[in-house]
Structure 1
Amino acid sequence: MLEENAKSQLGQDIHVLHEIYKGKKNGYFVEIGAYDGVEYSNTYLMEKDYGWKGLLVECNTRWITSIYQNRDCIFMPYAAYNEDNKVLDFYDTGHGLSGLVETNSHISSFSAPKIYVLTKKLTTMLDNARAPNFIEFLSIDTEGSEYEILLHHDFDKYLFGYICVEHNFIIDNRLKIRGLLESKGYVLSRENRVDDDYIHKSLLVNNA
């Protein structure tokens, strides 16, 4: 299915909207690692054509202006991580491989400017955004910190129906994420190149 505002790299937005939620209007999304808010966005189509609201998280100051210009949803300029208000080094490589040095040590090998970023836990940001307790879609692409973000999230307070998480073929992180999400009631829905997708078992029951 072709849609003009579909921006995701691997068809994630089309898959979630039409295969999982059957064209649902007015859902809620969270996209961590939002880049510029448009290119490769897994949620741009949801907002622009389907009336979804949501939260974008992106700590790279390079993209703040673009996000404000192109998106209408809530935006938080923090680094999602395992604790609140920690200051960490972030290397801006100028493309989608930028990330926290603490969870991605190879990034320092790039000739890239370093900036300092403030961390927030996912649960804290959802509290501040006054997000609903059930969130249809979570997308995480943070080049190495995905497990730490999920490990310290309160799934009892905020439940996600469908999660798309990048693993980038880092086997240890991929397995830890899988074990964690399975313990929270998720089932691996599909492997999509650099991403693994998980669906909560409650959606499987409702769609049966």
Structure 2
Amino acid sequence: TDPYYIRYPPNSTPRHYSKIYATWIFIDSYLQDFYGDKHRGGFFVEAGALDGEYMSNTLQLEQAYNWTGLLVEPDSDNYSELLKTKRKAWLSPSCLSLYSFPHASLLKKSRENDEESNWLMRATSSLITNEDSFGRDNPKIFTLYETVQCFPTDSLLSALNVTHVDFFSLDIEMVEAEVLSNFPFEKISVDLWAIEHRILGVPQLKEPASLMNYTLADLKKFGFSANIIETREKLIDTFEDQKFIKFMISKGYYYLDMTCALVGDYLFLRKASNLFKSLKVPKEREFRTYVCEEKKVHAVAWPSFEIKSLRDPHHYPGLQYKDLI
């Protein structure tokens, strides 16, 4: 019996969900530019895999470019659906350990009756790490709890004899930093990370939707009031977790981009990888810790799903770094 509960199901063709979410478009656009037809047969890890289809960051790589990998999903309801999709990947009904050793944890699961919103609720299943994690239940949402087994990431990958990951999608509801703090970067190389992360405990500032089409530089250039500029600067500080960014930089990564929202999707690229070398990033920019100063922000709602409104303009179009005038 596999001590990590890893399964490799037969491959078939899963059905497709409509890809309307800006975060998916943001991440997938980079995957297409970096990989696409140029890199077939790669290896991915997706932690927080849900059913393997809904908002999956790896399904396209598998179906179009013959990738395989490891899908990790601790929610037993989601995992049951994941088995039905028959992804061409290894599956584990576990969580990633918050420590350097295996442990059991309590998982909080929120549900609604509406099918579409229910999947949005399923995507919020989270580990209980302290009393505050229980939160206050919404009367329109019912909450379930289950005990789940967590394994160190390197234990799961070692079981598969994997030491290099081309793309790692980490979306595990606000415990990403704990998992990464115990990740063996010196033992397992990951070229590209997509990490959902937010700064906990910060006030949720808002600005008018009409300002979202302006970068911070635009606000200053066009003479907006000091109050508006100050609000934008504070917003950026709530988006970009400097401690988290600097941690990833210390592990040899380039801060590529993020979605510039309260719950942000960060992209980090390994500087020793050929992908990073192809960008030709100027030396003075390799250790940057801010990207939202030069981008439009999406604090309230996504005004557009156009890639150019989501991505750092230094890396759009194409993937060679360009200076902005």
Taking structure 2 as the reference length, the TM-score comes to 0.58
Deviation at 1:107, TM superposition (A): 4.2
- Quickly say closer, same or farther: Cα 1:8–1:16, change in 2 above 3 A: farther
Aligned length: 204
Deviation at 1:8, TM superposition (A): 8.0
Q: Which amino acid aligns with 1:118?
A: Q
Tell me the residue number matched to 1:137. 167
Question: In the alignment, which of 197, 202, 210 is matched to residue 167 of structure 1?
Answer: 197
Tell me the residue number matched to 2:110. 93
Q: Which amino acid aligns with 1:204?
A: F
Tell me the residue number matched to 2:62. 47
d(CA) in 2 for partners of 1:53 and 1:15? 19
Deviation at 1:53, TM superposition (A): 0.8
Tell me the residue number matched to 1:74. 90
- Quickly say closer, same or farther: Cα 1:109–1:40, change in 2 above 3 A: same
Q: Which amino acid aligns with 2:269?
A: I
Per-residue CA deviation, residues 83-128 of structure 1 (Å, 9 max, x unaligned), is: 3331111101132111011069344423411100111111111111
- Quickly say closer, same or farther: Cα 1:154–1:13, change in 2 above 3 A: same
Deviation at 1:144, TM superposition (A): 1.0
- Greater strand proportion: 1
Contact 1:58 1:77 in 2 (8 A): yes
- Using the aligned pairs only, state the percent identity: 23
d(CA) in 2 for partners of 1:161 and 1:67? 26
Unaligned runs of 5+ in 2: 1-15, 112-120, 201-237, 281-325
Contact 2:254 2:268 in 1 (8 A): yes
Contact 2:97 2:153 in 1 (8 A): yes
d(CA) in 2 for partners of 1:104 and 1:179? 29
Per-residue CA deviation, residues 15-53 of structure 1 (Å, 9 max, x unaligned), is: 233222243211110001111111011001111111001
d(CA) in 1 for partners of 2:134 and 2:33? 35
Question: In the alignment, which of 34, 46, 54 is matched to residue 20 of structure 1?
Answer: 34
Deviation at 1:177, TM superposition (A): 2.5
d(CA) in 2 for partners of 1:154 and 1:134? 12
d(CA) in 1 for partners of 2:277 and 2:78? 39
Name whichever of 22-31 and 146-155 sits farther off.
Answer: 22-31
d(CA) in 1 for partners of 2:240 and 2:134? 17
Per-residue CA deviation, residues 135-169 of structure 1 (Å, 9 max, x unaligned), is: 11011111111001111011111111110100145
Tell me the residue number matched to 1:198. 268
Tell me the residue number matched to 1:120. 151
- Quickly say closer, same or farther: Cα 1:8–1:32, change in 2 above 3 A: farther
Residue 153 (str. 1) matches residue 183 (str. 2):
yes
* Corresponding residue SS for 2:147: strand
